[in-house]
């Protein structure tokens, strides 16, 4: 048990195509770097080491709210300071706020000698998501903490998180630099859907889960279809249809909107294909004249990672 620690908190993709509100996965990169230490001052203090101008008042900061939730169940008088180097751009749709919240509680748990379960940590981190979006959702938090692909089977009467074994999958993400507010993306959804569309969707969810557990890439590809959310939300993302079409032509299994956008992700069987997909995406946004960033990475089997001391020193040298 040390007094200070560094964690790497991964970006995550939620609302995985047909799996709106239930399926998510962790990315190997990008990650936020967070340094946490125990202090003699009870409570939480936040230091932002980036240019995003995020709040430092703990109740208004994503990591802060998550830590305050954890401290309510920790020994009285515990004090934690966290320094955050954000590499995952807020508002990009790849779980920036979830990374901060998940990294904070995993780091704090490690500092305290791991008294809390993964489910506890998800529960704490969800208070961070509430600060970011007004809703306590676990779609990004669960994969950020568990790693790999996670299914949120249900949220009531209690949160039921199901880790799903998955074969090697490479991910290409494009983040067109436009702003979509999560609240706006929620508002354009209809409260009611056609039963026949819902049936098609849960057929695909069943297919996707089976494809992952059976390592059946073709089935994964066929199941990456969303007949409910994507037709509505994709109109908010310029170039969406072209990205989808060109990515499939480049060999991607399929993909869709990451979270509530504007990022779009595509899954591929090999890194080579994932690179070809990135080139196709780049061409589209260059042609549209929209600034963008692409990532070529893979689904990470692990979630928030505590960096060993040696690696820490290597980091410090860099």
| Chain positions contacting a copy of itself, by CB under 8 A | 18-23, 151-154, 160, 162, 164-165, 189-196, 198-210, 213-214, 219, 222-223, 225, 228
Instruction: Considering the complex, state which of residue 213 and residue 288 has its C-beta at the smaller distance from a copy of itself.
Output: 213
Instruction: Considering the complex, state which of residue 69 and residue 267 has its C-beta at the smaller distance from a copy of itself.
Output: 267
Instruction: Considering the complex, state which of residue 16 and residue 67 has its C-beta at the smaller distance from a copy of itself.
Output: 16
Q: CB 96 → a copy of itself: shortest distance, Å?
A: 23
Q: CB 254 → a copy of itself: shortest distance, Å?
A: 13
Please tell me what DSSP assigns to residue 2: -
Q: Which residues are catalytic?
A: 129, 182
Phi, psi for 263 (deg, rounded to 5): -65, 150
CA angle 295, 174, 250 (to 5 degrees): 90
Instruction: Considering the complex, state which of residue 47 and residue 213 has its C-beta at the smaller distance from a copy of itself.
Output: 213
- Would you call 220 exposed, middle or buried from its count of C-beta atoms within 10 A (0-12, 13-18, 19+)? buried
Three-class DSSP category at 18:
coil
| DSSP H or E stretch at residue 313 | helix 309-317
Q: CB 191 → a copy of itself: shortest distance, Å?
A: 6
Q: CB 12 → a copy of itself: shortest distance, Å?
A: 17
Return the residue matching tokens 């807020």. Answer: 90
Q: CB 157 → a copy of itself: shortest distance, Å?
A: 11
Alpha-carbon separation of residue 295 from 46, 174, 235, 298, 305 (angstroms): 28, 7, 23, 10, 20
Instruction: Considering the complex, state which of residue 13 and residue 34 has its C-beta at the smaller distance from a copy of itself.
Output: 13
Residue pair 69/151 in contact (Cβ under 8 Å)? The answer is no
Phi, psi for 250 (deg, rounded to 5): -80, -5
Of the candidates 135, 142, 97, the residue with the CA atom closest to the CA atom of residue 121: 142
Phi, psi for 213 (deg, rounded to 5): -70, -25
Phi-psi region of 101 (alpha: psi -120 to 50; beta: other; left: phi over 0): alpha
Q: CB 178 → a copy of itself: shortest distance, Å?
A: 25
Return the residue matching tokens 């799996």. Answer: 19
Residues in the chain: 318
């Amino acid at each position: 048990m040390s007094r200070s620690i560094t964690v790497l908190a991964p970006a995550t993709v939620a609302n995985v195509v047909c799996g709106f509100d239930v399926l998510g996965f962790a990315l190997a990169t990008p990650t936020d770097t967070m340094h946490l230490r125990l202090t003699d001052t009870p409570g939480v203090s936040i230091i932002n080491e980036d240019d995003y101008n995020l709040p430092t008042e703990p109740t208004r900061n994503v990591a802060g709210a998550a830590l305050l939730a954890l401290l309510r169940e920790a020994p009285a008088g515990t004090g934690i300071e966290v320094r955050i180097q954000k590499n995952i751009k807020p508002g990009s749709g790849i779980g920036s706020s979830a990374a901060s919240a998940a990294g904070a509680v995993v780091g704090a748990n490690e500092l305290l000698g791991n008294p809390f379960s993964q489910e506890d940590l998800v529960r704490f981190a969800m208070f961070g998501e509430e600060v970011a979006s007004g809703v306590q959702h676990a779609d990004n938090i669960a994969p950020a903490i568990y790693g790999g692909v996670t299914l949120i089977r249900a949220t009531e009467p209690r949160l039921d998180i199901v880790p799903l074994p998955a074969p090697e999958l490479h991910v290409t993400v494009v983040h067109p630099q436009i702003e979509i507010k999560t609240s706006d993306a929620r508002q354009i959804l209809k409260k009611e859907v056609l039963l026949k569309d819902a049936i098609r969707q849960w057929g695909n969810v069943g297919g996707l889960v089976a494809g992952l557990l059976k390592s059946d890439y073709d089935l994964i590809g066929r199941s990456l279809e969303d007949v409910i959310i994507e037709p509505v939300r994709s109109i908010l993302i310029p170039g969406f249809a072209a990205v989808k079409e060109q990515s499939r032509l480049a060999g991607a299994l399929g993909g869709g909107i990451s979270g509530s956008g504007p990022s779009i992700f595509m899954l591929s069987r090999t890194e080579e294909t994932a690179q070809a997909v990135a080139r196709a995406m780049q061409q589209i946004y260059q042609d549209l004249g929209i600034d963008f960033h692409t990532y070529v990475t893979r689904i990470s089997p692990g979630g928030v990672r505590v960096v060993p001391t040696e690696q820490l020193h290597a980091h410090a040298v860099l």
